């Protein structure tokens, strides 16, 4: 089983390959169909002009009519013979049928130049369509032109054949498309697998390394705590300062390893899904009042707009961590004398959790990146505030663990809104 980003990438690559193959197949089908059709048409045009010459010679020799009675009756082949300047009709073989009448009423569309042809598309009053190839050529007796012979060939058969060919081509294209989709899927998998394997190894390494670091860190923290609490110790001021530094850095390191472990678990989709009922109102009020003390220290005002009786299924510890991350960020990136608002409410089947601040805000470019691991807009500022660049990655993992979503919006006139939507029940 691949992890989510790769699943998504594979789906996107498959869709891309399928779209490319689909477009290519369609272009090939369209080109093949157009080519076949134009070849047939060019061939028929040439043939019809040649036939007119042939029928003209026979007319001169024996006055044999160009079309047989059967051809006129079925409307397969019709003819119209006029003198050289077109003022007199020598022979009208358009017949008495609807096709002949239609051709007559479209006389203006007939080809005008000798030895040319034209496709005529007509529709009778009762909706019947007629498609004829019309050509005109001179009838020559010795070296004198005695007339102009128009011949009309019914193209219905060719149109039907062309539609059948197109249908067949499209069926083949559809089958080819499915094969191409499968091929695209296979190709995407083949391309992504090595990257995914490398990524999995890297994840495993992070998970193992952070797990292995926990015990030595815990021992270090205990040792440092022991040193700090040892009343008989005769440590110099410098040593005491070093012990304090050790304590704060080991705290920081242990937070980092905990966060890395949680993220590694979330990558492997093994973050547990809790179905316990959590009293969100109580949880938010508890976290907000704890954070209020910190806010007051930083001369910030933390306002609470928390609806009563809000409950949802979830992991209480993780949800409390989510709130702390968002509120902590709001405080870290706000200046003194500004207000932070925590608003929690139920909207239909979801809980909406909003943390608004009036701080420095986040540019549109950075909004895309702040959920990336170790991304910090201002590294120096974030570090000085104790930031590791993992808070929002963790927040995102927690929100996803609960089947929700998180967005960053601009607060007007300044600041940021972190907008979290969580379903109240686990699916």
Residues binding ligand ADP (CB under 6 A):
329-330, 332-333, 357, 359-360, 362, 370, 375-378, 382, 387-393, 416
Would you put residue 148 in left (φ > 0), alpha (ψ -120 to 50) or beta?
A: beta
Question: Which residue, 253 or 282, has its beta carbon nearer to ligand ADP?
Answer: 253
Q: Please report how close the Cβ of residue 266 comes to ligand ADP at its closest, in angstroms.
A: 14
Tokens found for residue 327: 């509120």
CB 131 within 8 A of CB 155: yes
Alpha helices (H) along 230-279: 237-267
313 strand-pairing partners? 277
Helix-then-strand count for the chain, H and E: 10, 12
Question: Which residue, 77 or 395, has its beta carbon nearer to ligand ADP?
Answer: 395
Please state, in angstroms and rounded to a whole number, the distance separating the CA atoms of residues 196 and 198: 5
Question: Which residue, 69 or 372, has its beta carbon nearer to ligand ADP?
Answer: 372
Please state, in angstroms and rounded to a whole number, the distance separating the CA atoms of residues 418 and 367: 11
Which one, of 355, 366, 348, lies nearest residue 419 by Cα?
355
Question: Which residue, 119 or 360, has its beta carbon nearer to ligand ADP?
Answer: 360
Tokens found for residue 8: 């998504």
Question: Which residue, 51 or 382, has its beta carbon nearer to ligand ADP?
Answer: 382
Q: Please report how close the Cβ of residue 390 comes to ligand ADP at its closest, in angstroms.
A: 6
Q: Please report how close the Cβ of residue 355 comes to ligand ADP at its closest, in angstroms.
A: 7
Please state, in angstroms and rounded to a whole number, the distance separating the CA atoms of residues 274 and 253: 28
CA gyration radius, the chain: 42
Question: Which residue, 120 or 330, has its beta carbon nearer to ligand ADP?
Answer: 330
Q: Please report how close the Cβ of residue 286 comes to ligand ADP at its closest, in angstroms.
A: 21
Question: Which residue, 134 or 284, has its beta carbon nearer to ligand ADP?
Answer: 284
Q: Please report how close the Cβ of residue 213 comes to ligand ADP at its closest, in angstroms.
A: 19
Question: Which residue, 354 or 357, has its beta carbon nearer to ligand ADP?
Answer: 357
Please state, in angstroms and rounded to a whole number, the distance separating the CA atoms of residues 60 and 146: 9
Which one, of 364, 324, 352, 357, lies nearest residue 340 by Cα?
357
Would you put residue 307 in left (φ > 0), alpha (ψ -120 to 50) or beta?
A: beta
Cβ atoms within 10 Å, residue 181: 17
Q: Please report how close the Cβ of residue 381 comes to ligand ADP at its closest, in angstroms.
A: 7
Question: Which residue, 88 or 381, has its beta carbon nearer to ligand ADP?
Answer: 381
CA dihedral 171, 176, 178, 181 (to 10 degrees): -150
Q: Please report how close the Cβ of residue 172 comes to ligand ADP at its closest, in angstroms.
A: 53
φ, ψ of residue 345 to 5 degrees: the values are -150, 165
**By three-state DSSP, how is residue 343 classified?**
strand
Question: Which residue, 117 or 292, has its beta carbon nearer to ligand ADP?
Answer: 292
CB 79 within 8 A of CB 151: yes
Tokens found for residue 237: 């001021």
Q: Please report how close the Cβ of residue 332 comes to ligand ADP at its closest, in angstroms.
A: 6
Please state, in angstroms and rounded to a whole number, the distance separating the CA atoms of residues 407 and 371: 10
117 strand-pairing partners? 135
Q: Please report how close the Cβ of residue 328 comes to ligand ADP at its closest, in angstroms.
A: 8
Q: Please report how close the Cβ of residue 374 comes to ligand ADP at its closest, in angstroms.
A: 8
Question: Which residue, 75 or 387, has its beta carbon nearer to ligand ADP?
Answer: 387
Q: Please report how close the Cβ of residue 417 comes to ligand ADP at its closest, in angstroms.
A: 9
DSSP secondary structure letter of residue 270? -
């Amino acid at each position: 089983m691949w992890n989510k980003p790769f699943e998504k990438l594979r789906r996107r690559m498959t869709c891309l390959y399928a779209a490319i193959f689909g477009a290519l197949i369609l272009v090939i089908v369209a080109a093949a169909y157009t080519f076949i059709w134009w070849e047939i048409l060019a061939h028929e045009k040439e043939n019809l002009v040649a036939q007119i010459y042939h029928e003209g010679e026979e007319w001169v020799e024996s006055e044999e009519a160009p079309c047989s009675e059967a051809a006129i009756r079925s409307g397969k082949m019709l003819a119209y013979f006029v003198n050289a300047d077109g003022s007199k009709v020598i022979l009208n073989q358009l017949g008495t049928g609807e096709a002949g009448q239609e051709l007559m009423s479209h006389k203006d569309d007939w080809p005008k130049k000798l030895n040319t042809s034209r496709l005529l598309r007509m529709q009778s009053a009762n909706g019947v369509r007629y498609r004829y190839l019309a050509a005109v050529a001179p009838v020559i007796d010795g070296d004198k032109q005695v007339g102009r012979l128009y011949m009309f060939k019914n193209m219905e058969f060719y149109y039907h054949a062309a539609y059948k060919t197109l249908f067949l081509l499209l069926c083949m294209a559809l089958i080819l498309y499915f094969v191409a989709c499968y091929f695209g899927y296979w190709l995407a998998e083949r391309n992504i697998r090595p990257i995914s394997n490398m990524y999995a190894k890297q994840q495993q390494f992070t998970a193992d390394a952070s797990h292995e670091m926990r015990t030595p860190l815990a021992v270090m923290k205990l040792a440092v705590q022991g040193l700090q609490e040892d009343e008989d110790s005769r440590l110099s001021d410098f040593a005491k300062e070093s012990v304090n530094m050790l304590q704060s850095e080991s705290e920081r390191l242990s937070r980092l390893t905990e966060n890395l472990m949680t993220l590694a678990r979330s990558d492997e989709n093994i973050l547990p899904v809790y179905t316990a009922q959590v009293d969100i109102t109580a949880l938010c009020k508890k976290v907000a009042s704890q954070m209020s003390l910190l806010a007051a220290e930083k001369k910030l005002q933390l306002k609470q707009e928390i609806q009563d009786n809000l409950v949802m299924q979830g992991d209480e510890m993780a949800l409390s961590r989510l709130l702390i991350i968002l509120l902590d960020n709001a405080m870290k990136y706000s200046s003194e004398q500004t207000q932070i608002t925590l608003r929690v409410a139920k909207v239909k089947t979801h809980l909406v959790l909003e943390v608004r601040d009036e701080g420095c805000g986040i540019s549109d470019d950075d909004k895309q990146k702040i959920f990336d691991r170790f991304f910090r807009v201002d590294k120096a500022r974030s570090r000085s505030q104790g930031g590791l660049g993992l808070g929002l990655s963790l927040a995102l993992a927690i929100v996803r663990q609960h089947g929700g979503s998180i967005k960053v919006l601009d607060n007007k006139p300044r600041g940021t809104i972190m907008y979290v939507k969580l379903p109240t029940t686990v699916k």
